[in-house]
């Protein structure tokens, strides 16, 4: 059995195990999506309105193509995840992790693709030289690491290692510049956007190689009345990948 077939069997089992897979979604019930409120350019809350690349993609996918009613909400990331876990929101867009898969089912089709990278102070020349050409995240042992609160990849990959978590990406960048930790672990595209917005491109630099690649997925809570729509959503997402809509809406350089 190849890996694709295995994933599809696990996907079908996850849907059926919820007990709602055969139940049609209520056409009158909006699909409530929870976003990170400070994750530009992917999602943000500004003047009471939720916007960003994730929102643009979901509007095209769910509203215009599938004709669903959608409600967009944004919160601090830990709270957004908690809302899905408690059934107060139907889903979110994120990287599936074992912890998230306990209470939500991930679609098969990706929404965005990216890389997880290391960022350091530009003036830290010795550290930059040490980390260039890093072969494994294990080589970061002994360094002070930082990330934003709710970064599931960092939490899973560096379990047992001390990580300084900040309430937002902007706060994490300030802590990095204040020498509160040595290396910021974060999404390359989102962090580069934050650096440009703050005018810090010369003060903080991204190091190669990337620590990992990732794909965000639409994840729906296991008790969401819309869960049975995931196969239909996946099929339309794949069409958007083929017809170029995802690339157009993302408006990001390829990783």
7 and 109 co-located in one domain:
yes
Look over the chain and give the mean of its residue pLDDT values, rounded to a whole number. 89
| Positions in the chain whose pLDDT score sits under 70 | 1-27, 252-255
100 and 129 co-located in one domain:
no
Structural domain for 134, as ranges: 115-213
Domain count, the chain: 2
Euclidean distance between CA atoms 20 and 93, whole angstroms? 21
First to last CA, the chain: 30
Report pLDDT for 40: 85
CA dihedral 76, 80, 82, 88 (to 10 degrees): 130
108 and 218 co-located in one domain:
yes
Report pLDDT for 23: 45
Report pLDDT for 251: 76
89 and 153 co-located in one domain:
no
107 and 199 co-located in one domain:
no
CA dihedral 58, 236, 23, 5 (to 10 degrees): -120
Contact 220, 91 (CB under 8 A): yes
Q: What percent of the chain has pLDDT over 90?
A: 69
Report pLDDT for 68: 96
Structure tokens at 194: 């934050």
> pLDDT (tens digit, 9 = 90+) per residue, 144-200?
999 988 888 888 888 888 899 999 899 999 999 999 999 999 989 889 989 998 999
Euclidean distance between CA atoms 154 and 147, whole angstroms? 7
Q: Is residue 103 part of a domain?
A: yes
159 and 33 co-located in one domain:
no
Q: Is residue 33 part of a domain?
A: yes
């Amino acid at each position: 059995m190849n890996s694709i077939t295995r994933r599809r069997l696990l996907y079908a089992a996850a849907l059926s195990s919820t007990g709602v897979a055969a139940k049609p979604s209520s056409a009158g019930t909006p699909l409530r999506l929870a976003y990170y409120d400070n994750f530009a350019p992917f999602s943000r809350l500004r003047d009471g309105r939720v916007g960003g690349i994730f929102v643009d993609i979901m509007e095209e996918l769910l509203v215009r193509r599938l004709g669903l009613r959608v409600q967009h909400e944004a919160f601090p990331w830990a709270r957004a995840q908690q809302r899905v876990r408690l059934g107060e929101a139907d889903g979110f867009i994120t990287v599936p992790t074992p912890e998230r898969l306990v209470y939500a089912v991930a679609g098969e089709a990706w929404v965005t693709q990216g890389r997880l990278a290391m960022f350091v102070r530009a003036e830290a020349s010795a550290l930059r030289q040490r980390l260039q050409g890093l072969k494994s995240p294990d080589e970061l042992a002994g360094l002070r690491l930082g990330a934003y609160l709710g970064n599931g990849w960092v939490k899973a990959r560096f379990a047992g290692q001390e990580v300084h978590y900040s309430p937002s990406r902007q706060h994490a960048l300030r802590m990095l510049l204040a020498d509160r930790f040595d290396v910021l672990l974060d999404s390359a595209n989102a962090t580069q956007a934050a650096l440009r917005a703050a005018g810090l491109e010369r003060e903080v630099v991204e190091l190669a190689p990337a620590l990992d690649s990732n794909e965000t997925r639409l994840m729906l809570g296991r008790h969401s009345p819309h869960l049975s729509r995931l196969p239909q959503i996946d099929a339309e997402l794949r069409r958007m990948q083929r017809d170029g809509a995802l690339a157009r809406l993302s408006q990001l350089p390829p990783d």
